[in-house]
Amino acid sequence: MKRTIFTALLMMLAIGCERDHANSVGPGTGEYELVWSDEFEGPLNQLPDQTNWTWDIGNGAWGWGNNQLEYDTNLPENASLDGEGMLRITAREESYQDFDYTSARILTRDRVEIQYGRVEARIKLPVGQGIWPAFWMLGENIDSAGWPQCGEIDIMEYRGQTPGVILGTLHGPGYSGGGGITNLVNITPESFHEDFHVFAIEWQSDRIDWFLDDELYHRVYREQVPGEWVFDQPFFIILNIAVGGTFVGAPDESTVFPQTMLVDWVRVHQKD
């Protein structure tokens, strides 16, 4: 059963406790309460909870629209629990269905869809030329509206060959692809990928804020977008590792496989 998480029902109560999020540190402020999460508890090699997640399988049209090189599967070798409370998404170099790489792309579509709130995940990232992990969201009306009219919120994108940069981006009609509204945060490349970090957005009807480890680094207001604001509808969550694509280029001899993205948890908080 699809669950849509939506805060507008108690908007009049929320008005009294609204405040500027410029210095927000997320749920710790007491503004939000947890309404959904996946903590990835379960035995080794179990698939992620199918009441929360489904899979995009294959390579999509034009490599999921980005000329990606992997075939995404629903196999535990590419996405499964590690038995210690983590989700593993693993990109492998192997021949499969006429492709040279496999990976996984899991999503909450038709399971859990969200409108407004704080959406966050604690993740340890992979690295390497041509490795492209992401934590992002698409509008649930993508089949009827198409992309970019459905909207896209990239909570975290990471080029594996430039491990000193995290990107947060908004895509919509008139500001998509290379014209997306983006910002980046520079990090310490030598050790950043060796630890877990929390990537989050706080999404309201008039703006979206991006956070890395509870530090605000990007904000987009409704009136800033050069086209239509399409973020007043439910969205679903996606976690994946792409291999290759126009954003990162192909792997080369320096790329080590397998590469794994570890996800400790994904959580959604909303205002009362």
| Catalytic site positions | 152, 157
Terminal-to-terminal C-alpha distance of the chain: 24
Rg (CA), the chain: 18
Integer Cα distance of 100 and 131 in angstroms: 14
What are the phi and psi torsion angles at 178 (to 5°)?
-65, -10
Q: Supply angle C-alpha 135, 138, 140, rounded to 5.
A: 140
Helix (H) or strand (E) holding 235: strand 235-243
Integer Cα distance of 105 and 54 in angstroms: 9
What are the phi and psi torsion angles at 139 (to 5°)?
-65, 140
- Write down the residue that tokens 């170099």 correspond to: 93
Which amino acid type is present at position 90? T
Integer Cα distance of 98 and 39 in angstroms: 34
Integer Cα distance of 203 and 210 in angstroms: 9
Helix (H) or strand (E) holding 143: helix 142-145
Q: Supply angle C-alpha 1, 269, 6, rounded to 5.
A: 50
Tokens of 257: 């496989």
Integer Cα distance of 86 and 70 in angstroms: 23
